[in-house]
């Protein structure tokens, strides 16, 4: 065991004594992580050995519940470390991450392939009918047993060694993939030194580019990056077709530049190792292995959903392409629509057809206003209130911490929020936790939850102004946060978002619906200069244009979902060229040359560095659920208390404590249908 003095001086190895048990970020140094991991793994191993060697007859209490409690120190260290490597990383943390990945993989394999421990779990599992377990205990037992089996507990010695080696290699490769993607984003710079080339861009985007150039010691120039708040509006508004093409090519070739950040070989290795592992465990493909534990159950069900949606989506996107090509011709353009033209001309057409300008909308969406809109919506629905706590330690000066209270003033949890891009943060938006909700001595221990985004930064005297998509993203991530915050289960491993991937997006995506409702918009969409509430006419324009561009949006998303399934339904080790594989799969489905998958292979972090392999379809699967679920609110009232409480009690509070479809049926009274989704996307 580590020396007591080491424990006393390393803040990660002590129970956090901060208010609410939040991480003491002000005390944690990079040098603390490696010794903390080492000590926490030793402690966890001792706990596991104690359970495995307990001479008492195995019981639910001394084995299953004990396993759920074990590893608290390692969970604490891991949560802080891996959240920092995503939201505020540096070279030291990246190096530790690569070093620790195979060590942690080996540590968890020691547990999942522990014959003595598994024998106890298996004995309890086989006797489950006689134990009188309630629903939540039954779910915990089932997930514990299946976790052992799915991690190789039934394999023989040689195969166990092979699985362990695969897990170690995958742990390194997935981290390296994400690091390469972040490096590609950070290393690209589009520098403009002629203001005439900025025509079409909004004043706030130009100001942000000037600020970025100044920070990079290029005063008097304009700097654009591959961060979403920079690249997307550039593609949408920049009149310079040459510069649009340049930034587009940089974006679509992330990880595909034959340099030190190249991800092509990593993609092949990851896909092949996942197949090899699935085969060893008795599954024909990695997708079969993953989907067995999801709502979808098997690749056939996923492919049916994606194919059913692909047909109307591709048809609509082809019609949109024809409309854009005709528009280009009317403007005197003598060229064929290219991918870097799509957003630019689609925005022009939208403005012409619906008299709707994204830059006009943004003036009503200052981050602070949206902030209050989200808080107000959640208070009306669930009675929650949010109180900023400036005394709580944070991991970056931009981060804010909030105390979340219920209607009766009881503490629900702590919420961190981190909104703007920086070189130390990976792209995208996500919710995570520093500690999940748990029970201790019959008392609920509140969770510590975090939302991390990459929204447009404020510039000069202008506040951060969000696009409509960013507003939706904020509501989306807040739905995830509610799932974590409101969790009220007995077991840590079933708390919050510890649910199947294709169910976890339901709480997030249903929240997006409120962002689009006029009643909600009028509560927070106020002009950042005048305070004027967004006019009814502008709200109506947004509504009128609601399904415009859904052919493109749905097609690029589905293309990425299908690409994910293509990699993970392979039955042979991947050989050949990744780019050729992707191109062949997309062209075989009739994907137009003007659209690429939302994420191409070499920067598809969701599936090659995140937890969504064979799971990117989850967003559209969950959208079937959320579209159907929101109908319950629309039929009874947006803020109907009874409906909101039913959603809270049956979905948000229950985490993974029961079968997800059963939870959904309890809320809705029936299984969902696809009709509301097709209507919402204008694909019916």
Tell whether 36 and 124 lie within a shared domain.
Answer: yes
Q: What's 607-655 look like in SS3? A: HHCCCCCCCCCHHHHHHHHHHHHHHHHHHHCCCCHHHHHHHHHHHHCCC
Report the CATH number that the domain containing residue 625 is assigned in CATH.
1.10.1370.40
Contact 623, 508 (CB under 8 A): no
Please state, in angstroms and as integers, the Cα–Cα distance from residue 32 to each residue in 8, 13, 98, 160, following that order.
Answer: 12, 9, 16, 32
Task: Supply the mean pLDDT for the chain.
Answer: 95
d(CA 52, CA 77): 24
Residues taking part in catalysis: 477
d(CA 659, CA 191): 52
Show which of 201, 222, 252 is a domain's final residue: 252
Tell whether 108 and 137 lie within a shared domain.
Answer: yes
d(CA 622, CA 661): 11
Domain that holds residue 296: 264-356+550-616
Q: Does residue 600 lie within any of the structural domains? A: yes
Tell whether 567 and 514 lie within a shared domain.
Answer: no
Contact 337, 331 (CB under 8 A): no
Helix or strand or coil: residue 222?
strand
Tell whether 378 and 484 lie within a shared domain.
Answer: yes
What angle (nearest 5°) sits at the alpha carbon of residue 480, between those of residues 475 and 483? 125
Q: Which residue has the tokens 């195995």?
A: 58
The answer to whether residue 385 scores a pLDDT higher than 90 is yes
Q: Does residue 315 lie within any of the structural domains? A: yes
Contact 602, 263 (CB under 8 A): yes
Q: Does residue 168 lie within any of the structural domains? A: no
Confidence of residue 4 (pLDDT cuts 50, 70, 90): very low
The residues near 3 (Cβ < 8 Å, ≥ 6 apart) are none
Rg (CA), the chain: 25
Contact 612, 599 (CB under 8 A): no
Tell whether 223 and 284 lie within a shared domain.
Answer: no
Q: What's 407-446 look like in SS3? A: CCCCEEEEEEEECCCCCCCCCCCEEEEEECCEEECCEEEC
d(CA 500, CA 674): 20
Tell whether 416 and 499 lie within a shared domain.
Answer: yes
Nearest alpha-carbon partner for 252 in 198, 316, 177, 181: 181
Show which of 252, 273, 304 is a domain's final residue: 252
Confidence of residue 677 (pLDDT cuts 50, 70, 90): confident
Q: Does residue 64 lie within any of the structural domains? A: yes
Per-residue pLDDT tens for 430-471?
999 999 999 999 999 999 999 999 999 999 889 999 999 999
> Is residue 383 classed exposed, middle or buried when 0-12, 13-18 and 19+ CB atoms within 10 A define those classes?
middle
Confidence of residue 1 (pLDDT cuts 50, 70, 90): very low
Contact 479, 381 (CB under 8 A): no
Tell whether 482 and 598 lie within a shared domain.
Answer: no
Q: Does residue 183 lie within any of the structural domains? A: no
The answer to whether residue 679 scores a pLDDT higher than 90 is no
Report the CATH number that the domain containing residue 67 is assigned in CATH.
1.20.1050.40
Show which of 200, 229, 252 is a domain's final residue: 252
d(CA 362, CA 365): 5
Confidence of residue 3 (pLDDT cuts 50, 70, 90): very low
Tell whether 200 and 337 lie within a shared domain.
Answer: no
Q: Which residue has the tokens 């990593």?
A: 266
> What DSSP assignment string belongs to 443-460?
EEE--EEEEE--PPPPBT
Q: Does residue 599 lie within any of the structural domains? A: yes
d(CA 442, CA 501): 29
Tell whether 513 and 562 lie within a shared domain.
Answer: no
Tell whether 238 and 277 lie within a shared domain.
Answer: no
Nearest alpha-carbon partner for 40 in 52, 29, 48, 28: 48
Q: Are β-strands 448-452 and 411-418 bridged in parallel, bridged antiparallel, or unpaired?
A: parallel
Tell whether 568 and 660 lie within a shared domain.
Answer: no
Tell whether 215 and 123 lie within a shared domain.
Answer: no
The pLDDT of 656-683, averaged and rounded, is 90
d(CA 236, CA 234): 5
The pLDDT of 46-65, averaged and rounded, is 98
Q: Does residue 509 lie within any of the structural domains? A: yes
Residue 7: what pLDDT? 54
Residue 173: what pLDDT? 98
> Is residue 642 classed exposed, middle or buried when 0-12, 13-18 and 19+ CB atoms within 10 A define those classes?
exposed
Contact 445, 438 (CB under 8 A): yes
The pLDDT of 364-374, averaged and rounded, is 97
Q: Does residue 538 lie within any of the structural domains? A: yes
Number of domains in the chain: 4
Sign, CA dihedral 109-114-120-126, equals positive
Report the CATH number that the domain containing residue 572 is assigned in CATH.
1.10.1370.10
């Amino acid at each position: 065991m580590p020396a007591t003095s080491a424990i006393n001086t390393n803040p990660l190895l002590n129970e956090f004594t901060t208010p609410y048990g939040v991480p003491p970020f002000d005390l944690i140094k990079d040098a603390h992580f490696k010794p903390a991991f080492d000590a926490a793994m030793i402690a966890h191993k001792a706990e596991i050995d104690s359970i495995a060697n307990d001479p008492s007859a195995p019981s639910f209490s001394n084995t299953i519940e004990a396993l759920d409690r074990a590893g608290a120190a390692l969970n604490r260290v891991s949560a802080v470390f891996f959240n920092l490597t995503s939201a505020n990383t540096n070279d030291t943390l990246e190096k530790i991450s690569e070093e620790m990945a195979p060590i942690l993989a080996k540590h968890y394999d020691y547990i999942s392939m522990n014959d003595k421990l598994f024998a106890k779990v298996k004995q309890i599992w086989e006797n489950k009918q006689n134990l009188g377990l309630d629903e939540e205990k039954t779910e915990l037992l089932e997930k514990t047993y299946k976790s052992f089996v799915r991690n190789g507990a039934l394999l023989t010695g040689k195969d166990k060694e092979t699985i362990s080696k695969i897990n170690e290699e995958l742990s390194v490769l997935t981290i390296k993939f994400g690091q390469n993607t972040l490096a590609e984003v950070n290393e690209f710079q589009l520098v403009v030194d002629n203001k005439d080339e900025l025509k079409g861009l909004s004043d706030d985007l130009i100001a942000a580019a000037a600020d970025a150039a100044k920070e990079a010691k290029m005063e008097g120039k304009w700097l654009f990056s591959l961060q979403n708040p920079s690249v997307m509006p550039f593609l949408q508004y920049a009149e310079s077709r040459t510069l649009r093409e340049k930034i587009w090519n940089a974006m679509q070739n992330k990880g595909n530049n034959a340099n030190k950040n190249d991800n092509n070989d990593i993609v092949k290795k990851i896909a092949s190792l996942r197949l090899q592992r699935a085969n060893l465990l008795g599954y024909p493909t990695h997708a079969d292995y993953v989907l067995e534990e999801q709502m979808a159950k098997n690749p056939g069900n996923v492919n049916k959903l994606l194919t059913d949606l692909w047909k109307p989506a591709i048809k609509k996107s082809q019609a949109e392409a024809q409309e854009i090509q005709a528009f280009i011709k009317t403007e005197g353009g003598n060229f064929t629509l290219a991918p870097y033209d799509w957003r630019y001309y689609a925005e022009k057409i939208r403005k012409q057809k619906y008299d709707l300008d994204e830059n006009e909308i943004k003036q009503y969406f200052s981050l602070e206003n949206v902030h209050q809109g989200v808080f107000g919506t959640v208070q009306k629905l669930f009675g929650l209130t949010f109180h900023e706590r400036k005394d709580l330690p944070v991991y970056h000066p931009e981060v804010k911490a909030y105390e979340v209270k219920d209607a009766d003033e009881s503490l629900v949890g702590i919420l961190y929020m981190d909104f703007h891009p920086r070189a130390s943060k990976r792209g995208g938006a996500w919710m995570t936790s520093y500690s999940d909700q748990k029970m201790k001595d019959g008392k609920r221990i509140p969770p510590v939850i975090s939302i991390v985004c990459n929204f447009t930064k404020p510039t000069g005297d202008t506040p951060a102004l969000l696009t409509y998509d960013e507003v939706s993203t904020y509501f989306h991530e807040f739905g995830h946060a509610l799932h974590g915050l409101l969790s009220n289960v007995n077991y840590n491993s079933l708390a919050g978002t510890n649910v199947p991937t294709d169910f976890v997006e339901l709480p997030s995506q249903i929240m997006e619906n409120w962002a689009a409702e006029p009643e909600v918009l009028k509560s927070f969409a106020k002009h950042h200069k005048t305070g004027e509430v967004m006019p009814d006419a502008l709200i109506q324009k947004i509504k009128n244009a609601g399904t415009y561009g859904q052919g493109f949006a749905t097609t690029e998303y589905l293309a990425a979902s299908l690409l994910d399934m293509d990699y993970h339904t392979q039955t042979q080790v991947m050989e050949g060229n990744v780019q050729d594989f992707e191109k062949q799969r997309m062209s075989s489905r009739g994907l137009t040359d003007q659209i690429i998958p939302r994420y191409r292979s070499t920067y598809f972090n969701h599936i090659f560095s995140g937890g969504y392999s064979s799971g990117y379809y989850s967003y559209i699967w969950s959208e079937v659920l959320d579209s159907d679920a929101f109908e319950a609110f629309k039929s009874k009232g947006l803020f109907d208390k009874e409906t909101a409480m039913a959603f809270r009690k049956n979905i948000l509070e229950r985490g993974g404590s029961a079968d997800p479809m059963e939870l959904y049926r309890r809320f809705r009274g029936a299984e969902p249908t696809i009709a509301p989704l097709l209507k919402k996307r204008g694909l019916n």
